Chains A and B, each alone.
Chain A
Amino acid sequence: MTMLKIKDISIRLGQFELNRVNFEVPGGEYFVLLGMSGSGKSVLLQIIAGLISGASGQVFLDGKDISNEKVQRRKVGLVFQDAALFPHMNVFKNIAYPLRSAQLKNREIEKRVNELAGVTGVSHLLKRTTANLSGGETQRVALARALALSPSCLLLDEPLSSLDVQLRGELRSLLRELNRRGQTIVHVTHDYEEAVLLAGRVGVIEHGNIVQQGSPTEVFQHPRSEFMARFVGIRNFFNGTLSGEPGSARKFHTGGITFTILSDEPPGEGYIVIRGEDVTISKNMTTSSAVNNFRGVVTSLGPARIGTEVMIDMGISLGVLISDESAASLELSEGKTVWVSCKASALKFIGK
C-alpha cells in the first residue's frame, strides 16, 4: 500500500524550480532521492513536511491529502542535515519534546524516551547537553526525536554527510534496522554509495525533475539520461560475495566470474563498482599489471558524453569507456571478441 504519494508538485523559488514532481513510496520502503546539490531534493522534503508553502500539486500520506495540513499535524518526521537539536535542552528533553507537545503523561514520556534511546543507542547520553555530542551521536538523537511520535514516514535530509566513514557505517546499520522494523523512509543524498547501500528504490532528481526511478541496480546500470550517466559516470555495479581475509589475495564472485580485488573490507555480501574509464580493451590477451583479464563479446558501442561507450558481455555485462581513436584502431564492432582487463585496485568493494 502506498504510504507517501507526491503528485505534480511544482514550485518556483527565485531561480530554482521544481517541475511536476511525481513519485510514490509504498509502506515500509526505503526510498532514496539522489541528486546533486541544488537539484531540489531538500526543498522537496520541506514541501512534504509543510515547511515550504506555495507549492502546487498534492502530497498524500497514508491515502490522505495533507497538502493543506498544518506542519505540526503532518505525521512526517524530518531529520535535518545538521540535526537541528535544541541547544538549550539536554538529550532527554530533546527526545521528549514531541511527546510533551502531544501532552503525554510524564511516566509515558520517560518510558518512550528510554525505549527510543535504546533503539538508537543513545541511552547513555540522556543527561548530556547537545553541545558535547559527536556528529554520530547528534544524528542518533535527532533520529530518536523524529521517531518519538511514530511518524508514518521518516524524511532524512543528507543525514550521513557530516560523518566520518566509520560513523557512517554505524548509522547506516541503524537506518537499515529502523527500515527493517517497518519504518517508511525517504532519504535524500548526493552520495551514490548511500543509495546503493540503503535504497530499496532510488529516484534521481535533476534540476527539479525526477528523471529516473527504480532499483539501485536498474538506475546505476542503465542510466536513462545524460545527466545520470555523468552523475554516476559509466559505473559497473555487481552484487556478489567477497572472499578471503584482509591482507590476503581477495576474490569477488559475481555472475559466475571471479575478480581479484584489493580491499581491506571484511568478507561477505556486497557490491563492486568498476569505473568504465578504468577498464582497458585489447584484441588479444596481454601481460600487464592488470590481474583481471576476461574474454568477452562486444554487444553494443556508441558515443558517450566524451569518447565511446562499449558494452561487453563476458558472463556479466561490463560498460567500458574508451577514446574514439582506440575504438577505431581496435576496429570494434558488435559481435567482435575482445579481451578486457582491469587492475585489482580499480575495483571498489562496498559491503552490505
Chain B
Amino acid sequence: MTGFQPMKLLFVFLGGLVLLFIIAPLAGLFLATSPAAFFETAMEKEVAGSIWLTLWTSMLATLIFALAAIPFSWILARRKFPFKRVISAVINIPVVIPHSAAGIAILGFVSRDSLAGQIGDRIGLSFVGSAPGIILAMAFVSIPFLINAARDGFAAVPEKLENAALNLGASPARVFLTISLPLAWRSILSGLIMMWARGMSEFGAVVIVAYHPMTTPVLIWERFASFGLDYAIPVAAVFITVCLVFFMILRMLSSPYDHAEN
C-alpha cells in the first residue's frame, strides 16, 4: 500500500493547471460560438475560401520544401563537414526570430526590386500578395520543425544497416530510399505534420508578404480588427476544428513502421 504522497499530488495539481491553461481558452471559444453561428460561418464563402487557401498552401509548402529538406537532414545526420554546427544553428533561426521580422525579411527578398522578385516576374510568378508568397512565408517559419525531426530520425537509424545494404550491392540512392528513409519515416512524418501545422497557423510572416489573398489566421485578425471579438470567434472556432481534425487524422496514420512489410 502506498502512503500519502504530497509531491505526487502537487505535480498532478500543477499538471492540471497547465492542461486547464491550454483547454480553457479553447473551450471558452467553442462555448461562445452557437452551433448556428458555427455552421453559418463555415458556409461563408470568404471563410471557406480562406480555409481552403490555408490548407493547400501549407500542404504545398511542406511537400515542396520536404523534397530538399529530407535529403539535407540525412546529410546533417550522417556526414561531417566544416561549419556543421553553424549550419545547424542557422536552421533554427526562423524559430527564434519574431515572425513579423521574418515576414519583412522575406518581403525584402522577393519584392519586385529584388533579384528573386525580378526573376519571378520574368517567369510570370509574383510572390508579393499571392499564394506563392504565402507558401514561402509559411515554409520559412516552419521548415526547422521538419529538418530537426528528420535529422533526429536519420541519426537514430543504425549506420550499420546502411553499410550492410551497401555491402549487399545497393547503390547509395537505393540505400537511402529503401533503408534510411523507411526506418526514419516515423520521425519524418512527425516533422512533416509539425511543419504543415506550423505553416497553417502562421500569421506574422504571412500577413506581411500577402495580406491578400487572405489565409484564415489573417482573416481572423481582419475580422477582429474591423468588427471586434464577436465576429472573430466563430471563424477561429471553425478553423481550430478543421486543424484538429486534420491533425488527429495524420497522427493516427503515423504508427510505427508504416512501411513494414510483414
| Chain A bound to chain B | yes
Q: With an 8 A cutoff between CB atoms, is B163 at the interface?
A: yes
Contact of B158 among A78, A84, A146, A149 (CB under 8 A): A84
Contact at A86–B161, with CB atoms within 8 Å?
yes
Contact at B261–A146, with CB atoms within 8 Å?
no
Binds A, one of B63-71, B137-145, B168-176: B168-176
Interface of A is mostly: mixed
Contact at B168–A88, with CB atoms within 8 Å?
no
Contact at B257–A149, with CB atoms within 8 Å?
no
Q: Which residues of B contact A102 (CB under 8 A)?
A: 169
Tally of chain A residues near chain B (CB < 8 A): 30
CB neighbors of B among A168-208 (8 A): none
Q: With an 8 A cutoff between CB atoms, is B232 at the interface?
A: no
Min CB gap A73→B, angstroms? 8
Most-contacted residue by chain B among A50, A82, A97, A102 (CB, 10 A): A97
Provide the bound-state CA to CA distance between A84 and B167, in Å.
Answer: 11
Q: With an 8 A cutoff between CB atoms, is A5 at the interface?
A: no
Contact at B262–A90, with CB atoms within 8 Å?
yes
Contact of A88 among B163, B164, B169, B260 (CB under 8 A): B260
Contact of A86 with B179 at beta-carbon distance under 8 Å, contacts A51-B163, A80-B160 already known: yes
Q: With an 8 A cutoff between CB atoms, is B209 at the interface?
A: no
Interface string of A84-97 (1 = CB under 8 A from B): 10111110010001
Contact of A78 with B261 at beta-carbon distance under 8 Å, contacts A88-B183, A101-B170 already known: no
CB neighbors of A among B213-262 (8 A): 257, 259-262
Residues of B within 8 A of A (CB): 158, 160-161, 163-172, 174, 178-179, 182-183, 257, 259-262
CB-defined A-B contacts under 8 Å, sample of 19: A50-B167, A71-B166, A72-B168, A72-B170, A73-B169, A78-B164, A80-B160, A86-B165, A87-B183, A88-B183, A88-B257, A88-B259, A97-B178, A101-B169, A102-B169, A146-B167, A146-B168, A148-B168, A149-B168
Residues of A within 8 A of B (CB): 46, 49-51, 71-74, 76-78, 80, 82, 84, 86-90, 93, 97-98, 101-102, 127, 129, 145-146, 148-149
